[in-house]
A and B are shown apart, each in its own frame.
Chain A
Amino acid sequence: GENVEQHPSTLSVQEGDSAVIKCTYSDSASNYFPWYKQELGKRPQLIIDIRSNVGEKKDQRIAVTLNKTAKHFSLHITETQPEDSAVYFCAASKPGNQFYFGTGTSLTVIP
């Protein structure tokens, strides 16, 4: 199977600062890496994803980087806002659409 590790488990930042969450994966066959945001009591929702043929992807304040050689990928949130506070999960998927999730990072943005 696949083993996805995620760090840190909790992260507090001041509003306006950047937040970085890192994940590693074990299976070199994994080729799709989505990031989900889960607010308290709500469903996980996709915020950004990256495929293995791309090294970086950006969408407004959110960016994801992928290092296939090292088998790690990271989520970067710039200019954080209180509404960014949530739990973020990384995932790795390989052909067959089997998703393996990290353990989550609880992000708190302090106003």
Chain B
Amino acid sequence: EAGVAQSPRYKIIEKRQSVAFWCNPISGHATLYWYQQILGQGPKLLIQFQNNGVVDDSQLPKDRFSAERLKGVDSTLKIQPAKLEDSAVYLCASSLVGRVTEAFFGQGTRLTVV
């Protein structure tokens, strides 16, 4: 089966610029996650969707980060304006809803803010 697709793989931007990441989950996976992984740390959940509704966005810095999943499939994560500390790998993951089961990860987008 096809995996979780993310783009772009790499992005370098200057601070205060905007950036957007795209994610296409595994077909049929109603739950979609965005994680931030800073070098040397574990993934930190930014936002979790079930279909097109938000389940948890308690750790999303809402003054600069936003995410949407309008049709319950693809999702975009946006940062505006970016700060140096936003440099990280942004991982998208998806899972089936219902019985708790594993989350499948995409390759991630490595963001460097200079």
Using a CB–CB cutoff of 8 Å, the interface residues on chain A facing chain B are 1, 4, 6, 31-32, 34, 36, 42-46, 49, 51, 89, 93-104
B108 with A98: CB separation less than 8 A: no
Chain B residues, Cβ within 8 Å of A94: 100
* A43 touching B102 in the complex, CB below 8 Å, given contacts A97-B97, A101-B43: no
Which partner residue on chain B sits nearest A36 by CB separation? Answer: B105
* Among candidates B31, B43, B95, B97, residue contacting A44 with C-beta atoms closer than 8 Å: B43
Cβ of B7 to closest chain A Cβ, rounded Å:
14
17 A-B pairs within 8 Å (CB atoms) are namely A32-B101, A34-B102, A34-B103, A42-B107, A43-B107, A44-B91, A45-B105, A49-B102, A97-B48, A97-B95, A97-B103, A98-B45, A99-B33, A99-B45, A102-B42, A103-B42, A104-B42
How many cross-chain pairs have Cβ atoms below 8 Å apart between A and B?
A: 56
B58 partner residues in chain A, CB cutoff 8 A? 1
A101–B36 Cα gap in the complex (Å)? Answer: 11
Interface range, B side:
20 to 34
Interface residues of B in 73-114 (CB under 8 A from A): 91, 93, 95, 97, 100-108
Main secondary structure of the interface of A (DSSP, over half): strand
**Cross-chain contact B43 with A89 (CB below 8 angstroms):** yes
Give the interface of B toward A (CB within 8 A): 31, 33, 35, 40-45, 48, 55-56, 58, 91, 93, 95, 97, 100-108
Which chain A residues border B43 with CB–CB below 8 Å?
A: 44, 89, 101
**A31-B100 in contact (CB<8A):** yes
